[in-house]
Structure formats: C-alpha cells, structure tokens
Amino acid sequence: MEIPFTVKPRPDTGLWNAKVGIWLFLASEVMLFGGLFSGYLFLRLGAGGEPDYFWPKDILSVPFGFFNTLILILSSVFVVVAWLQLKLRNFRKFQMWMFAVVACAFIFLVNKGFEYKSKFTHYGIKLSDNSIVEGYKLDDTIIYEGLKETTIDVARFNGQFLEKIDGETPKFFRVDSEGKAQGDAFELSVAKVQEIALEENAKLRSKHEASNKEKLEKDSEAKVIRWLPAMGIKQISLIAENEFSIKIKRKKLRKSFADSVKFRDQTSIKGTISKKTPGVYIAQVDRIDLRATDSENPETSSLVWNYLGNTSPYKTESKKVASKANHEGSGYNDEYQKSADISDAHDPKEEAEKAKMIFLGSRQEVLDNADSEEGAEFEKLLNQYVKKWKDKDGEKYESYSPILVPWDDVKLYSNFTPKWNTFYAIYFTLTGLHGLHVLIGAIVLLWFALFGKKLYDKDPEHMANRVEVGGLFWHFVDLVWIFLFPILYLM
C-alpha cells in the first residue's frame, strides 16, 4: 500500500505527514519534561534550608557534565550535516556522519554510566541528631546471635533466613501454646511450612465444620458461616534445636531491633546483635555535613565526633583472618597487606582528630569572615571536605578517617540513590529519562544508517524526510540536556 504525503506536502497543512506527527510527539515530550522540570523547581524551592533539607550543590562532576554537553552538541551538528548529505544525494557521507552521531551517543552513555556508578558506590549515613557523614566502602553486615524462637508468616515465608545462617542449620520443633517444643525435630523449608499449614488447616476446618453441625443440630434455622481459607493458620511458632546465628547485610532485613530481627518475608526471630557488628561502618569518610544537626554546638556535641575514628571490630577480625589465611596459604604477602585497607595505613584515631581539626578550623575561619561574606559562604561553612590535609611535615596527601555509627544512632543510610535524598530522586529521574531518549534515538538513527539504502534507492527524498524526523527528535534530546546541564551541575 502506498502511504500518501510522505514526500509531497498535504494541501491543507502544507506539510508532509511525518513532520506533523513528529512535532505533535515533540509537543507531548515538552509537556513530559516540563512536568519533571516543574517537579525539580518545586523540590528545589521547597528545600528551605535550615532546619530542614539543604539542596546539595557542587556534588556532580562539572567536567563530566561539560564533556557530555559538548558531545551532544557535536552530535546535533553531525545529524543535521548527515541529513544535508542525503539532500546532496551522497549516501556514503550520510552514513559516515550518522555513525559519528551514534558514536557520540555511545560516549555520552558510557560517560553517564561512570557518573551513575560513582553515585552507587558512594554512601551516606544520617545520624539520630541529623548530622550526615558520607564516604566510601560501607559495611552494614549485622550478626544476630542466640537465635532460637522463630515466628513464620505462612503465606509469605520464602526461606531467606535459612540461607543466611552462619554455621550449621539447626532443626526446628513446633511450639505449643505454652511455648514448649512438641513433636519431632524437622528440617525447615518452604515445602515443610506448607505441609504444616495444610495439616493445621485441615484440623481447624474439621473443628469449624463440627461446630457448625452442632449448631444446626440444636437449631436448624441457626446462621452458620461456612469455612473460608482466611480462617486458616497465619503464623507458625517454632523453636530451634539449638541456638544459631545469622550474618546478613542490614539492608536486606525488614526491621532490626536490639532483641529481635524481622526478615522481608515477615519471619521474626528473637536474639541479640553480636558485639562484632555494633553498627554501620564507613571505611573512608570524605564529607561531614552538620548543617541540619539538632545539637546547638555541632563543634562539640555532634554525635559524629563520638564515632569518627572508630573502626568495626568485625572488620578488624575478618582482616586478621584474611591476612592469616593469606600468610598460611600462599606465603606472607607484603603487597597484599598494604592494599588490604587504605585506612590501615594511618592511625584511625589520629586521622579522626585531624579531620575534626580541619573541619572545625575552616568553619572557624568562615565564621570569622562571616560579617563581610554572608549567604554564599554558609554553604561552605558546614559542608567541608575532609579528605585533604597536611601532616606534620606540611606534606599534603589524601586520607580518610573511618567511622562506626551504632545501630541505634542510625536514622538512615544508603548509597546515593533516590532513597538518600530528594536531589538524587529528581537527578536520576531526569537524567535517566533523558538517557533513555539518547539510547532510543541512537538506535533509530543507527537503523537509518545501516538499513536505509533500500528506501534511498527507491525514493531518496522519502529517506531524507525520515532522517529529518529522526534528526528533529535528536535535536530535542540535545535541547533537554542544554537545560539539564546548568540546573543539575552548575546551580
């Protein structure tokens, strides 16, 4: 079938059809991104600063964003040049320029990938007094000991906790209403739980039906409720043959309490947190932010100062084990020792003191100048990088202090994803959606370059129009980035 107006303009609009189509589509895209931009505006203006949420500034790498902007602008020029080559009836050159566009898109996306990765491996902890520490190499391993009494949600049980048992998996007993073990010990599994539920439900059902029958015998008009699955057993209480312990990443848990632990499938087990894992550990703190802290004098009373420089006993122990294993296994390895942990190269306590000195030193400096330089300086005031300092010889080097925040003092911790703050929520939404546009646009343009020859030979003007439509989309993608770059990276 011949589609009309692919080349010749339609008399009423004066345009070939695809052009009307792409502009209507771009109009809807303007509304889509417009909505997200106004979402950005709302969040940014709503981040009122003290005492709530401070809009993060200067946390994206400007060179990365700058380079990506140049790449996209170049690709925009390339795409329009490619289209003109079609107009000049030069398919080879068209292909060449189109490949250049796709290469630009590829570089852009790889670049973006690096940026995303740097966010996924960077962590933050919000303490209970609203102080914030950020850094690398977070360890949220939590070990629960003395676990025995277990409650299982029949419908949701997925056996996750069984995989996380540190050591041998014990057998379990059913528990009667007084909490005493009954029957034989059995190996716990999803199938076993279903089996118990079936057995239990059969008992409950026959009991229910017997009581119904009795009611009806007494009074044939009596209203009875028939058995419904919802009347079945919901939870099963179990007790382990002997105490066991569990080692798991805290973020994999639903809830963690001092005296019990709850898994995502609602399995709840009573036990205590091991002293080996007293809290969340960051090996290399690179930023401290006390702007939103509750304490009156963050210089002295912030919780950060209590915990900065503390290392995790779990880490220390596991390292010992590792180096021992290394020593025995393949001979003592000096290189391995050095690279095992950067923070090991220095005394953590001493580093914490230095970090504090530098942090508070520069704060004082800014405070001293506060009369003359207000406003803008406040951002710097309590938002210092602590990773660079001078040692006694005046030599500058990068170093990081560790921190161990006890579980009770952790309000929130996360890597830099939408969970961490509003900025990353809108940042990932905007750049993610834009990245998707780059990807899809590049695929379409690559398609034209690879498989466009047939149409070009048949009707070159039709091909040129197709490329123009693809190009219009590509320019729009560039246009969105032109605004994204300054608002996300520079402001």
Partner 1 sequence: MADTPEEIQKHLKLYWKVGYVLLFCTVLTVGVTYIPVIGDNIWLGLGIAAFKAGLVALIFMHLNSEKPMIYKVLVYTVFFAIGMMFLTLLAMYDPIISPFNR
For partner 1, the binding residues (CB under 8 A) are 13-15, 19-20, 23-24, 27, 30-31, 34-35, 37-39, 41-42, 45-46, 48, 52, 62, 66, 69-70, 73-74, 76-77, 80-81, 84, 87-88, 471-472, 475-476, 478-479, 482-483, 485-487, 490-491
Backbone φ/ψ region at 372: left (φ over 0), alpha (ψ -120 to 50), beta: alpha
Query: CA-CA distance, 28 to 490, in Å (whole number)?
Result: 27
Residue number, 57 or 264, with CB nearest to partner 1: 57
CA distances to 323, 359, 439, 480 from 387, rounded to whole Å, are: 27, 10, 36, 35
Contact 407, 17 (CB under 8 A): no
DSSP secondary structure letters along 368-434: HTTTTS-THHHHHHT--B-SEEE-TTS-EEE--EEEEEEGGGEEEEEESSTTT-HHHHHHHHHHHHH
Contact 254, 157 (CB under 8 A): no
Q: Find the shortest distance in angstroms from Cβ 263 to partner 1.
A: 38
Q: What does the block give as tokens for 283?
A: 């090996």
For residues 75, 77, 79 and 80, what is the CA-based torsion angle, rounded to 10 degrees?
Answer: 170
CB-side neighbour CA atoms (13 Å) of 437: 24
Residue number, 413 or 427, with CB nearest to partner 1: 427
Residue number, 69 or 266, with CB nearest to partner 1: 69
Residue number, 130 or 302, with CB nearest to partner 1: 130
Residue number, 60 or 236, with CB nearest to partner 1: 60
Q: Is the peptide bond before 51 cis (omega within 30 degrees of 0)?
A: yes
Q: Find the shortest distance in angstroms from Cβ 400 to partner 1.
A: 28
Residue 340: what residue type?
A
Residue number, 15 or 216, with CB nearest to partner 1: 15
Residue number, 75 or 312, with CB nearest to partner 1: 75
Q: Find the shortest distance in angstroms from Cβ 468 to partner 1.
A: 8
Q: Find the shortest distance in angstroms from Cβ 15 to partner 1.
A: 5
Contact 194, 202 (CB under 8 A): no
Q: Find the shortest distance in angstroms from Cβ 374 to partner 1.
A: 13
Q: Find the shortest distance in angstroms from Cβ 310 to partner 1.
A: 36
Residue number, 79 or 288, with CB nearest to partner 1: 79
Q: Find the shortest distance in angstroms from Cβ 152 to partner 1.
A: 44
| Count of beta carbons in the 10 Å neighbourhood of residue 119 | 16
Q: Find the shortest distance in angstroms from Cβ 36 to partner 1.
A: 10
Query: CA-CA distance, 401 to 158, in Å (whole number)?
Result: 40
Indicate the SS3 state at residue 440. helix
Q: Find the shortest distance in angstroms from Cβ 73 to partner 1.
A: 5
Residue number, 37 or 407, with CB nearest to partner 1: 37
Annotate 184-223 with b (16+ C-beta within 10 A) or e (fewer). Answer: eeeebeeeebeebbeeebeeeeeebeeeeeeeeeeeeeee
